[in-house]
Amino acid sequence: MLLCFEYTPQKKRTSKVAYSVFGVLGSAALLVACSSTETAQNIGEKTKEAIAHLPVPANDIDFMTSVFGSFDNVSTHHDDKYLYVESNGIPSHEMMTGITSWQQQVPIDQDYTNENSWVIPLQPELADEPLMAKDNFMKGAIAIAANGIPIFNPLNNRGEDAKAFGELDNWGGHSGRADDYHYHLAPTHLQSQVGEGKPIAYALDGFPVYGETDDKLDEYLGKFNEDGSYEYHATSEFPYLIAGLRGKVTINPDTTAPENEIAPQAHTHGVRPALMPLRGAEITDYKIISPTQYSLTYTHDGQEHKLNYGWGATEATKDTYTFEFIDPEGTTVQTYKRTDNIQKK
């Protein structure tokens, strides 16, 4: 006989969940949902394999658009499968201050538009075998913040905690080898701009990323909601966000773990050769002079240094980048032209 009853687990929950019992073997009962259209929220203690084949709700396009629409430098469009996020890769907040292990890269604009936009699935799907961040995705982004800035694995490409290593600024970000600014931590400082109760980012598997919560999180730093939807949350302790991707993603076949990256992946456009890390350099100040001009101050070996840099503000000069290095021994100026050479993250 098929019985349906309401069951409240020992752990505190916000709602009761309906289950079915087919029979009893010894003291163990096999519980399955009474509904023929199960969701990931009402399956109780079923196996991960069973969870993976359950549907999750599609993303609400208007809601997603409102999240990214909180920032002037971000635009979106969509088709029937994806939301496309476009930005120039430069956040409106200060950057770089607080880094104590500097790789000599600085933020420049990036062309995350058109065919090089960030891509978020409108219909997320749970993965059969979720990939853990500690063993994967040490190359490229795993999420896109609401302000159009990519979010990388909290581990750097050497498998180290980027925050603990001193590589991140006071906003959880830094610049990569192509002078591309990105976060390695959840950008919780964006919450005031997107509004309470809204996500601060979306993972590239399609699930939203929210700020910190008191709710219990799973091993991927996420949780299911009553409607079967899934969401990630930030934490103040390592691994900080998205310990594993709960949703399905496509892996670039030209990459292998741990430096396997999600595809499609927007590409960065560098303008100068990547420099070697400058160990012991501490960035003490960063000024936004204008949307195209910046000034960075750092100390190294007890001496103060400054880097003034930027690019042209007109259509004729926008592809010309100038870097002025000022140190106790003098001033060096380097000028570069942006080329069609694309450097992947």
Q: Tens of pLDDT along the chain (345 residues)?
A: 333 333 233 333 333 333 333 333 333 333 333 343 455 555 544 555 566 567 899 999 999 999 999 999 999 999 999 999 999 999 999 999 999 999 899 999 999 999 999 999 999 999 999 999 999 999 999 999 999 999 999 998 889 999 999 999 999 999 999 999 999 999 999 999 999 999 999 999 999 999 999 999 999 999 999 999 999 999 999 999 999 999 999 999 999 999 999 999 999 999 999 988 888 899 999 999 999 999 999 999 999 999 999 999 999 999 999 999 999 989 999 999 987 444 444
Per-residue b/e over 129-167, b at no fewer than 16 CB within 10 Å? ebbbbbebbbbbbbbbbbbbbbbbbbbbbeeeebbeeeb
Residue 55: predicted pLDDT: 87
Name residues whose C-beta falls within 8 Å of residue 12's C-beta, 6 or more positions apart in sequence: none
User: What is the CA angle 206-207-209, rounded to 5?
Assistant: 125
pTM of the model: 0.85
Note whether 262 and 251 are within 8 A (CB): yes
Return the DSSP state at 322.
E
Give Cα separations from 207 to 82, 146, 222, 228, 245 (angstroms). Answer: 12, 13, 9, 12, 9
Q: Which of 252, 268, 245 is nearest to 135 (CA)?
A: 245
